[in-house]
A and B are shown apart, each in its own frame.
Chain A
Amino acid sequence: MNLALRDIRHNLGRFLLTCLGLGLLLGVALAMVGIYRGVVEEALSLAHGLRADLWVVEAGSRGPFAEASRIPGDVREAVARLPGVIAAGGVTFQTVEARHAGGPDAAPAPEPGLAEDWVRERLGEAGRQRIGTVLRLQVVGYEPDRPGGPPSIVEGRGIGRGRREMVADRGSGLAPGAMVEMGGVRFRVVGLTARAVSTGGDPVGWITLRDSQELQFRLTPPAARRAQQGGGGGQPQDTVNAVIARLSPHARVEEVAAGIRRWKHFAALTAPEQEVVLTRSVVERARRQIGLFTVVLLLVSAVIVALIVYTLTMDKMREIATLKLIGAPDGSIVALVMQQALMLGAVGFAGGTTLLLAAKDAFPRRVLLGPEDVGSFGLVVFGICLLASLLGVRYALRIEPAQALGG
Chain B
Amino acid sequence: MVKGMSVKEGDIAQRYREHTGRKRTYIMAGLALLAVMTVLSIATGSVDIPPADVIRTLAGYSVSVTWDSIIWNVRLPQVLTAIVAGAGLAVSGVVMQSILRNPLGSPFTLGISNAAAFGAAFSVIILGAGSTSSRVGDAVTISNPYLTTASAFVFAMLVTVIILMFVRIRGTTPEVMILVGVAMGSLFTAGTMFLQYFADDVQLASMVFWTFGDTARASWEELGLITIIVAVSIVHFMLNRWKYNAIDAGDEIAKGLGVNVERVRLWGMIWSSLVTAIIVAFLGVIGFIGLICPHMARRIIGDDHRFLITGSIVMGSLLLLCADTVARVMIQPYQLPVAILTSFLGAPTFIYLILKGRRI
Query: Are A and B part of the same complex?
Result: no
- Contact residues of B with A, CB < 8 Å? none
